[in-house]
DNA sequence: AATTTTCAAACTGTCGACACTCGACAGTCG
DNA sequence: CGACTGTCGAGTGTCGACAGTTTGAAAATT
C-alpha cells in the first residue's frame, strides 16, 4: 500500500468516461432528467465539451447499472420504474441480505461487531443533524457492511447494483425519512440478533426491517404514480 | 480462430456490437483465450474486419458481464477465476434459487409444472444422445425456469449473469458430466417438492442438488489449478 | 378537416486518425 | 558491473467525419 512512492498523482488523468458517468449519475439522481426521456449523445457531448465516444461509453456503463436503457438505432433513455420492478428489487434485496445475515451470524468477529455498532451510531448522528441524502447513504452503508462481512464478494456486487436502482427510485420519490431516528433504531434488532449469533433471529429482524422499508417506499411510489 | 473477415457481413446494419460480443463470448467459452491474457482492440478489430469502436463497446459489455476486466490505459484482459470467486458464485446462485423455489411453491400453475416436466424430459433426452454443451444448456434452462416462474424478473437477470460466469468456469474446466442421466435425475426431487407445493422440501432438494454440483465443480477446479 | 406523403433536421453506428501513455530495450554514465 | 536515461514501438483514449436511419412537421391529397 503506502509505499514510498510520491503521494501525488493518481488523480490526474482519470478517465473521461468515469467523470462523465459520475456527472450523469448525479444528474439522474438529482432528477434533472425525467424518466423515459431520450438522452442524445451529441447533445450531451456538447454539454460536457467532449466528443461522443466517451459519452457513449459512459452511457453503456449506466445501462449496465440499470439506470439507462438503450434501443437499437434510437439511443439511450432514462430508465423508468413501475411498481412491479421496484417490488422485484426490494424482494431481491431481502433475499441477498437474508443470506448475508445468515452467513454472518456464523462468523461475526469482534471487529465486525464494532464496525456495525459504530455505523449504527453514525446513523443516529445524521438522523439528528444531517440531510436526507446523508441519512440514506449511512443507512445503505450499514446494509452494505452486512453483505461485505458475509464474505461473499459477488453478493456485494449485486447488492451495489440494487442500491443504485433503489437510490434512483427513492430520490425520484422525494423525501422518505420523516423520522430518521426511528428508522435508525430499527436496525438495532438486527445487530442484536447477530451479537447472539442467531441466524434465525437475524433473518426475522431483517425481514421485519426491510418489509417496513419496502412497504413505505412502495406506498409513496404508488401515490406518486397517480399524478 | 473464427475470423470471418471475408465471410461477408450478411445484415450487419443491425448491430455489430452484439455480433462481436457474441463471437467474443463464444471464443472465450471455447477457450481460445487463456485467462489473464491481454485483448488488444486493434488486433480484434482487424480480426473481425471492423473498426475499434464496436470492439470497444463489445468489450465493455463483456466486462459488465464479468468475463473481461479492464485496467485504465492498459486495456482489456480475460477474467481469471480463483476458487474463492467460484465458490461465491455458487453460493449466490444457491441463494437466488432457494428464494425462487420458495416463491414458486406458492404460485405454481399447471402450465409451469408442465413446462418444468417437459424440460426435465428434454434433459434426459440430451443425456442419452447429446453433447456436453447441450447437456449443460438444458440443465441451465431448467434452473432458469425456476427463476423465471418465481415472477421476479430482476432475480432472473442476476441469475443470467451468474450463468455466464459458471459456463465460463465449467467449460474452462473441461468436461463435467460423466453421468448426465444421473445428473438429470437429481432434478426430480425439486420438481416433486414443487408439485406438493412445499417450500421447505423444495429448498432442501435444491440445497442438496446444488451442493453436489458445487462440490463437483470446485473439486475439478482445484485439481485443474494445480497444473 | 382529417389523413397520407414528403422532406429536412437530428441522431446513431461506424470509421480512420492523432495524441498521449506505458513498457521494453539499449545506450550512457558513474 | 549496475543504475539511470533516452528512444521506440505498441496500444489506449479521444476526436471529427460520413452514411444510413429515425423523427417530427410541413406539404399534399382526399
Q: What is the DSSP letter of B72?
A: T
Which of the listed residues B78, B110, B131 is the one where a domain comes to its end?
A: B78
Residues A101 and A203 grouped into a single domain = yes
**Residue range of the domain that includes A67:** 16-78
Ranges A39-48, A74-83, B210-219: which has the least confidence: B210-219
Strand-pairing partners, residue A78, are A68
Backbone angle region of B79, left / alpha / beta, with phi > 0 → left and psi within -120 to 50 → alpha = beta
Nearest one of A203, A24, A219 to A98, comparing CA atoms: A203
- Protein contacts on strand D: list nucleotides below 7 Å from a Cβ: 10-17, 20-23
Residue B3, in any domain of the structure:
no
> Does A99 contact chain B (CB < 8 Å)?
yes
Residue A6, in any domain of the structure:
no
Which of the listed residues A78, A99, A114 is the one where a domain comes to its end?
A: A78
Q: How far, in Å, CA of B142 to CA of B115, rounded?
A: 9
Go through A195-222 and write b for each residue having 16 or more CB atoms within 10 A of its CB, e for each that does not: eeeebebbbbbbeebbeebbeebeebbe
User: What is the CA B174 to C1' D12 distance in angstroms?
Assistant: 34
Residues B106 and B217 grouped into a single domain = yes
Question: Is pLDDT of B225 > 90?
Answer: no
- Do A119 and A191 touch, CB atoms closer than 8 A? no
Q: How confident is the model at residue B36 (pLDDT cuts 50, 70, 90)?
A: very high
Per-residue pLDDT at A12: 40
Average pLDDT, chain B: 88
Residues B212 and B104 grouped into a single domain = yes
Footprint of strand D on the protein (CB under 7 A): A 15-17, 50-54, 57, 73-74; B 13, 38-43, 52-53, 56, 70, 72-76
Grid coordinates given for A192: 442484536
Overall number of domains in chain B: 2
Domain CATH code at residue B38: 1.10.10.10
Classify residue B73 as exposed, middle or buried by CB count within 10 Å of its CB (0-12, 13-18, 19+): exposed
Residues A72 and A87 grouped into a single domain = no
Question: Is pLDDT of A97 > 90?
Answer: yes
Residues A119 and A149 grouped into a single domain = yes
Q: What angle do CA A149, A89, A181 make, to 5 degrees?
A: 65
Residue B7, in any domain of the structure:
no
Could you report the per-residue pLDDT of A171-217, keeping only the tens digit for each? 767 666 678 898 899 999 999 999 999 999 999 999 999 998 898 88
Chain B residues close to A99, C-beta within 8 Å: 91-92, 95
Maximum pairwise Cα distance, chain A: 59
Residues B93 and B70 grouped into a single domain = no
- Among chain B residues, the shortest Cα distance to A91 is held by B152
Q: How far, in Å, CA of A4 to CA of A55, rounded?
A: 36
Q: How far, in Å, CA of B64 to CA of B71, rounded?
A: 13
Which of the listed residues A78, A108, A124 is the one where a domain comes to its end?
A: A78
Chain B residues close to A91, C-beta within 8 Å: 99, 152, 154-155
Residues A20 and A104 grouped into a single domain = no
Residues B87 and B74 grouped into a single domain = no
- Do A104 and A195 touch, CB atoms closer than 8 A? no
Residues A44 and A102 grouped into a single domain = no
Q: How far, in Å, CA of B187 to CA of B106, rounded?
A: 19
Residue with cell 445428473: B183
Residues B94 and B204 grouped into a single domain = yes
Could you report the per-residue pLDDT of B98-138, keeping only the tens digit for each? 999 999 999 999 999 999 999 999 999 999 999 888 888 99
User: What is the CA A224 to C1' C11 distance in angstroms?
Assistant: 33
Amino acid at each position: 500500500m503506502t509505499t514510498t512512492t510520491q503521494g501525488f498523482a493518481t488523480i490526474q488523468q482519470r478517465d473521461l468516461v468515469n467523470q462523465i458517468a459520475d456527472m450523469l449519475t448525479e444528474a439522474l439522481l438529482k432528477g434533472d432528467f425525467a424518466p423515459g426521456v431520450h438522452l442524445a449523445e451529441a447533445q450531451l457531448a456538447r454539454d460536457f465539451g467532449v466528443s461522443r465516444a466517451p459519452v457513449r461509453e459512459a452511457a453503456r456503463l449506466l445501462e449496465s447499472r440499470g439506470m439507462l436503457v438503450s434501443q437499437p438505432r434510437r439511443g439511450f433513455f432514462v430508465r423508468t420504474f413501475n411498481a412491479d420492478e421496484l417490488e422485484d428489487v426490494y424482494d431481491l434485496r431481502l433475499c441477498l441480505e437474508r443470506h448475508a445475515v445468515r452467513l454472518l451470524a456464523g462468523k461475526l468477529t469482534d471487529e465486525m461487531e464494532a464496525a456495525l455498532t459504530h455505523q449504527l451510531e453514525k446513523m443516529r448522528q445524521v438522523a439528528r443533524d444531517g440531510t436526507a441524502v446523508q441519512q440514506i447513504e449511512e443507512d445503505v452503508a450499514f446494509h452494505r457492511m452486512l453483505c461485505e462481512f458475509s464474505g461473499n464478494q459477488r453478493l456485494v456486487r449485486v447488492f451495489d447494483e440494487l442500491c443504485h436502482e433503489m437510490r434512483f427510485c427513492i430520490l425520484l420519490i422525494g423525501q422518505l425519512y420523516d423520522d430518521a431516528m426511528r428508522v435508525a433504531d430499527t436496525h438495532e434488532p438486527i445487530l442484536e440478533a447477530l451479537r447472539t449469533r442467531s441466524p434465525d433471529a437475524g433473518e426475522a429482524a431483517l425481514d421485519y426491517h426491510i418489509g417496513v422499508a419496502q412497504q413505505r417506499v412502495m406506498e409513496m411510489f404508488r401515490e406518486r404514480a397517480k399524478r
